[in-house]
Amino acid sequence: MKTLVLGLGNPLLRDDGVGLQVAARLRRILDGQPGVVVAEDYWGGLRLMERMVGCDRAIIVDAIQTGASPGTVHRLRLGELPTQRSASAHDVNLTTALELGRCIGARLPADDDILIIGIELQDVTTFDESLSPAVEAAVPRAIATVLEALGVAEREAL
């Protein structure tokens, strides 16, 4: 079984880089874990779908904005995402990208095997590579949530 753990974001827009930071820390923790690939990316839609080809499951870590308190860690399935819009007018949302991939025969994780770990953002308008304090404080909780989803005890991983 192959699991992709993918951190998404823009490292230059403050809290939007949280998924990338979580993935970077998880890469060190999960190094050598059989069947787990940890990666980072800056794209959604079709390119995100392409990253999942050949995987049995995927855990996507990204910043999210739902109105909850900054730093809240959400654990969501595809159908629970607060919006299904694409962030780009030149791309499609993840659900549509997955449908397209399956139509052309790509081996992709089932919708139920895709987990989104969303960290509630505070600031994505400031050009800064550091996270706001509330979002930075959420990083260990997001890491623990990913490890739990993988069935890896935190003490084993550390």
Q: What is the pLDDT of residues 6-29, one digit of tens each?
A: 999 999 999 999 999 999 999 999
Q: Please give the class, per CATH, of domain 3-157.
A: alpha beta
Q: Look up residue 120 and give its amino acid.
A: E
With contact defined as beta carbons under 8 Å apart, do 71 and 119 qualify?
yes
Distances from the Cα of 46 to the Cα of 18, 49, 50, 51, 93, angstroms: 21, 5, 6, 9, 8
pTM of the model: 0.89
pLDDT digits (tens, 9 = 90+) for 90-143: 567 888 888 999 999 999 999 999 999 999 999 999 999 999 999 999 999 999
Question: Tokens for 74?
Answer: 């959400």
Candidate from 11-20, 62-71, 77-86, 134-143 with smallest mean pLDDT? 77-86
C-alpha to C-alpha distances, 35 to 9, 32, 38, 112, nearest whole angstrom:
24, 9, 10, 18
Structure confidence at residue 103 (pLDDT): 93
